[in-house]
Chains A and B, each alone.
Chain A
Amino acid sequence: MRADMAAARRLLPRWAGSLRPASSAAAAAYPKRVKVVEVGPRDGLQNEKNVVPTAVKINLINLLSETGLQVIEATSFVSPKWVPQMADHTEVMQGIRKVPGISYPVLTPNLKGFQAAVAAGAKEVSIFGAASELFTRKNINCSIEESLERFQEVMAAARTANIPVRGYVSCVLGCPYEGKISAAKVAEVSKKMYSMGCYEISLGDTIGVGTAGSMRDMLSAVMQEVPVGALAVHCHDTYGQALANILVALQMGVSVVDASVAGLGGCPYAQGASGNVATEDLVYMLNGLGIHTGVDLQKLMDTGTFICSALNRRTSSKVSQASCRL
């Protein structure tokens, strides 16, 4: 596989210079550092049509571990009845190389999943809430309040085991069932999850309908309840708005951004449309802003090439598409 990768290596054009962090003279309004949370192996692969063999998943995560990324969401301890793509969660967790200094959070929807995750070696977990009642009902057949009560068990167990918990809030800028979502609702759910003990709240524009305007309004409301240092944005690029939305979030002080290598993971609500923002495109933008991420863009692109070839699909990263042809 390495030889293939080397042969298909996308040479960076003369932009190598601009791909390293430029001077930060223009970056006075932006954070100096941004933590990139790589969700490709979980959120990405979970939403891809093709199911990926365990060995490929492990290799993907190992390659990502060499790019400088500090957080790589590895898998999901959800029942394989619901998410068959993540059925091999135990094997993946046990099979990956755990590089010191890198965190490998996993999704745990309930106590059973949490216990299985810890048994498999997980040291960080994530729980998923939503800012939409209808979305919660359709997805996990209960109300938002009920879902948070279920998570209390996970929080208690995590606290005892000293395991940090990241909280996700879905549909923060719109819901496929309810339509518009009020910023106040997002703030309310975020506050609840934060006070339950989540160290970080990742605000997800699940269907990518948000814009710079709605992002600003939503963050203004949430920042009144949760410190900005505990906030992350998880933008989908379904309407091409992701990087602009992320830019606004950065301008407001958010310094944690989720992304998916090669933009893996389509949108389950708009067939054929794109989903996650591509990590390559995000890092390209952050580099251009002089913001430090610690990520090696070339290695990231190579990893994207690997997984796209394994999935037999084209990359959704524009940086990758452009660089390979010049």
Chain B
Amino acid sequence: MGAVPSALKHCLSYQHLLREQPWIAEPPTAAHPAQEASGVPEYIKIVEVGPRDGLQNEKVIVPTDIKIELINRLSKTGLPVVEATSFVSSKWVPQMADHKEVMRGIERHPGVQYPVLTPNLQGFHSAIAAGATEISVFGAASESFSKMNINCSIEESIEKFEEVAKAARNMNIPVRGYVSCVLGCPYEGNIIPAKVAEVSKRLYSIGCYEISLGDTIGVGTPGSMKKMLEAVMKEIPLSALAVHCHDTYGQALANILTAIQMGVSVVDSSVSGLGGCPYAKGATGNVATEDVLYMLNGLGINTGVNLYAVMEAGNFICTALNKKTNSKVAQASFNIGTIK
């Protein structure tokens, strides 16, 4: 209310713009008093899924050199894990057809992991040959989803993964397990927490070191997230759990907050919120890494990640994709003008 000055757009360089942005705090170095009171972890590992989950679900197929450039930039942000690509048949996922070239082309930064998806033994061998040193397998908490996506039951899919996990174990390759549809399924609707716990336990028992629980269509809320985690935490150690929240219904940050308040310390996210939702046309999908970092910084939680650097990587890929960012932090930061 009252006279409000209109925001002037900066004509300065992007770097300069970011530096003037007073709200992008550097990662905290000391423990924040609020953090002790709220019971959230001191450190959270961010798993960046933009180059795989993000780009896989974008409309435009991205050239190999752009993918490589994106991953190289992300490697310099402090992110400890950057999911690089997917060794799935290019018949099913054409956006990831260049998996070998990407894997061979990226810079491998020390201290950064570059897991890749491997749906089966063939994909696994191909990934290893291309230099992969960590892999992921994808299960689901919904039979219908499993059938529709990979044409087999949950148990059948896990049996396949068991082969992969065995081969991986023999080569000392860590395996991350994903569980889709943990808070709802586009076909079955509600998913019971006990089922999520059962599938997670199966994946953990075949040797997955970490289980990433995915709210695939973003329908979860802090209520359903809490109930689901309570069930899963009875079967799997907390330190082996991650959450992979989609922001399709705007609930992602609230859901992530709920998870970290319960002690979860690994969070998946996607730079610029790359990757729409294949089940709700035009709706958003992955939560934006920038927005997650902004929240975690504000809670005094250490991530080791430089938010400015992630925003720059986000700016790069959005320019290359000719699209607007889905990160609200990036949107607000780009547009903040000089307030006179």
Contact = CB atoms under 8 A, between A and B. Distances in A.
Contacts of B250: 243, 278, 281, 284, 317-319
Nearest to A174: B23
B57 interface: no
B109 to A, nearest CB: 28
B224 A321 contact: no
Interface string A165-187: 00000000010110100000000
Given A179-B22, A247-B254, A278-B250, A18 B294 contact: no
Interface stretch (A51-59, A65-73, A195-203, A263-271): A263-271
Interface in A13-28: 14-15, 17-18, 22, 25-27
Secondary structure at the B interface, as helix, strand, loop or mixed, is loop
- Counting chain A CB atoms within 10 Å of each CB, the highest count among B3, B223, B295 belongs to B223
Contact of A322 (B5, B283, B297): B283
Contacts of B248: 318, 322
A317 B283 CA distance: 11
Contact of A76 (B1, B230, B281, B284): B1
Nearest to A215: B298
Contacts of A284: 221, 249-251
Interface string B248-260: 1111011011100
Given A17-B190, A278-B250, A285-B251, A177 B339 contact: yes
Interface string B62-105: 00000000000000000000000000000000000000000000
A322 B257 contact: no
B144 to A, nearest CB: 12
Given A239-B332, A285-B222, A321 B189 contact: no
Given A15-B219, A217-B34, A285-B251, A240 B298 contact: no
A137 to B, nearest CB: 11
A140 B2 CA distance: 6
Contact of A241 (B222, B227, B247, B294): B294
B171 interface: no
A229 to B, nearest CB: 22
Contacts of A241: 253, 291, 294-295, 298, 328
A117 B279 CA distance: 48
A325 B281 contact: yes
B221 A285 contact: yes
B227 A26 contact: yes
B280 A325 contact: yes
A216 interface: yes
B322 interface: no
A240 B34 contact: no
Interface in A270-316: 270-274, 278, 281, 284-285, 287-290
Given A288-B222, A325-B283, A318 B1 contact: no
A270 B20 CA distance: 13
B336 interface: yes
B1 A139 contact: yes
- Size bin of chain B's contact surface: 35 or more
Given A244-B253, A288-B251, A18 B227 contact: no
A139 B256 CA distance: 36
Contacts of A267: 332
A240 B291 contact: yes
A74 B299 CA distance: 36
B300 interface: yes
A17 B327 CA distance: 30
B251 A213 contact: no
A319 B291 CA distance: 18
- Counting chain B CB atoms within 10 Å of each CB, the highest count among A26, A214, A239, A290 belongs to A239
A209 B37 contact: no
A156 to B, nearest CB: 21
Nearest to A316: B250
Contact of B294 (A27, A76, A240, A269): A240
A78 interface: yes
B4 interface: yes
A210 B298 contact: yes
Interface in B110-145: none
10 contacts: A22-B224, A174-B23, A212-B257, A239-B328, A240-B294, A247-B258, A248-B257, A278-B250, A281-B249, A288-B221
Interface of B: 1-7, 9, 22-23, 32, 34-35, 37-38, 184, 186, 189-190, 218-224, 226-227, 230, 247-251, 253-254, 256-258, 277, 279-284, 288, 291, 294-295, 297-300, 327-329, 331-332, 335-337, 339
